[in-house]
């Protein structure tokens, strides 16, 4: 097996996937790593502060969770070079903002965080997932006590299927393919609704998607 996967190469079976997370060393990253640990998964944490080793190890991953803020993507993502070429790169961030009036989505080049990342990583297999949830949601997911749909977006269906398999390992999480990159802005925008609902109820909330819209699970 080569150090990275070209887009047309088959991915290994789900149980053999090598996972990494690329981005700041913050509470969200810690929550994701800890959540995956509860289902027997190891996620290697890669910091852009140590760029050379991060490039090398990201290059060897099958799935990399990218947690770089949307505003920092144009300056930071190109520094990864070809490290994510052929890698299923899961965009976990959005342009969600918060002020005294509530939660809202900041306009972003490319229309969405996933769209922007796709432009910056033309050789990567870009997928959007986990974008509506904060550290507290992930902590509950790791304990198996959080129920919600988890939208998965992307034009590469094989890559999306792999991400859905990973999500399906968590009790209570239901992966839902929510369309290609053209739907990314709308799906990422659900983060604002979840943020408002979580703030209003006072605890993390999940949701269900249907043809009729979204239902908050309180």
Asked if residue 5 has pLDDT above 70, the reply is no
Assess contact for 138 and 32: CB atoms under 8 A.
Answer: yes
Query: How many of the other CB atoms lie within 10 Å of CB of 40?
Result: 8
40 phi-psi bin (left φ>0, alpha ψ -120 to 50, beta other):
left
Q: What is the pTM of this model?
A: 0.92
| Cα distance between residue 152 and residue 64, in whole Å | 15
Strand 173-177 versus strand 63-66 pairing type: unpaired
When pLDDT is cut at 50, 70 and 90, the band that residue 156 belongs to is very high
Contacts within 8 Å (CB) and 24+ apart, 72-76: 73/113, 73/116, 73/117, 73/120, 74/109, 74/116, 74/120, 76/48
Using DSSP, how many helices (H) and how many strands (E) does the chain show? 8, 11
Could you report the per-residue pLDDT of 22-80, keeping only the tens digit for each? 999 899 999 999 999 999 999 999 977 776 777 778 878 999 999 999 999 999 998 88
Between 9 and 147, the more confident residue is: 147
Mean pLDDT to the nearest integer, 10-18: 82
Q: Looking at domain 14-217, which CATH architecture does it have?
A: 3-Layer(aba) Sandwich (3.40)
Here the tokens at position 199 are 């703030």
| Cα distance between residue 74 and residue 116, in whole Å | 8
């Amino acid at each position: 097996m080569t150090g990275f996967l070209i887009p047309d190469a088959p991915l290994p079976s789900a149980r053999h996937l090598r996972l990494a997370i690329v981005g700041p060393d913050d509470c969200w990253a810690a929550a994701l790593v800890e959540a995956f640990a509860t289902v027997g998964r190891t996620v290697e944490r890669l910091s852009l502060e140590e760029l050379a080793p991060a490039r090398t190890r990201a290059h060897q991953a099958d799935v990399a969770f990218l947690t770089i803020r949307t505003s920092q993507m144009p300056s930071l993502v190109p520094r990864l070079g070809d490290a994510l070429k052929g890698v299923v790169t899961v965009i976990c961030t959005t342009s969600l903002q918060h002020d005294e009036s509530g939660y809202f989505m900041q306009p972003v080049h490319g229309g969405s965080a996933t769209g922007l990342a796709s432009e910056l990583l033309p050789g990567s297999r870009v997928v959007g997932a986990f974008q509506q949830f904060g550290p507290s949601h992930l902590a509950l997911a790791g304990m198996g006590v959080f129920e919600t749909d988890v939208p998965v977006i992307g034009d590469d269906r094989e890559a999306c299927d792999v991400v859905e398999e990973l999500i399906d390992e968590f009790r209570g999480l239901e992966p839902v393919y929510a369309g290609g990159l053209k739907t990314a802005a709308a799906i990422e925008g659900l983060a604002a609704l979840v943020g408002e609902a979580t703030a209003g109820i006072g605890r993390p909330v999940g949701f269900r998607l249907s043809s009729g819209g979204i239902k908050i699970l309180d």
